[in-house]
Amino acid sequence: MILLVTSSERASECAAALHEATGKEVAVAETLARATTLLRAECYLAVVLDQYLLETEPDEAGTTFDHLGTAIAVPVNLAISGMERLVREVRAGLQRLQREEVRARQAAVGRLQSELNGTVTALLLSIELALETSCLPRAAAEKLESVHELVKKLRRQLESAGPVGEAEQAAGA
């Protein structure tokens, strides 16, 4: 969903153009205070902010920005921008948001893979050292061998996942 924040008489026209161009539902707030209320209640992909409101209400603008969450802010001067430019700016903002989400996901997966690889290595070493223990009961040795095989399988699965982002990069190409 997109939030359009403007007191302009063209608000409904702008909302319709954004809906048609993006296929996203568009909510309209006439003031920054109303926008902040809507941002507290709902998650938005993008928040299109009329620069007039940002300049005339700087304190309220700060509060609105504090409540954006994961939405991308798209400031636009609606007094001089046509519908084409408005749509272009919002599309560019949504594309930036999508790229940022992909990068954040790749970073999170990379950190997780790194942590898991370290844990898997520690498990393998611990199991191998335990298996070298003299006088280890046969049943315990069999269970350790079983766990050892499972951990080696986990390592192969992590390795087959490949470098982070390959699949996403291929999909985006």
Are 41 and 108 in a shared domain? no
pTM above 0.75, yes or no: no
Are 146 and 73 in a shared domain? no
Q: Pick from 85, 100, 115: which residue ends a domain?
A: 100
Is pLDDT above 90 for 114?
no
The predicted structure's pLDDT at residue 172: 46
Is pLDDT above 60 for 88?
yes
DSSP category for residue 31: S
Domain span holding position 13: 2-100
Q: How many domains does the chain have?
A: 2
For the stretch 6-58, pLDDT in tens is 999 999 999 999 999 999 999 999 999 999 999 999 999 999 999 999 999 99
Q: Pick from 100, 116, 132: which residue ends a domain?
A: 100
The predicted structure's pLDDT at residue 124: 94
Give the separation between CA 153 and CA 114, rounded to whole angstroms: 17
Residue partners of 24: CB distance under 8 A and separation at least 6: 1, 2, 18, 45
Q: Does residue 172 form part of some domain?
A: no
Are 65 and 127 in a shared domain? no
Q: Pick from 42, 73, 100: which residue ends a domain?
A: 100
Are 83 and 129 in a shared domain? no
Q: Does residue 173 form part of some domain?
A: no
Q: Rounded mean pLDDT of 57-80?
A: 93
Q: How far apart are the first and last CA of the chain?
A: 26
Residue partners of 127: CB distance under 8 A and separation at least 6: 144, 147, 148, 151
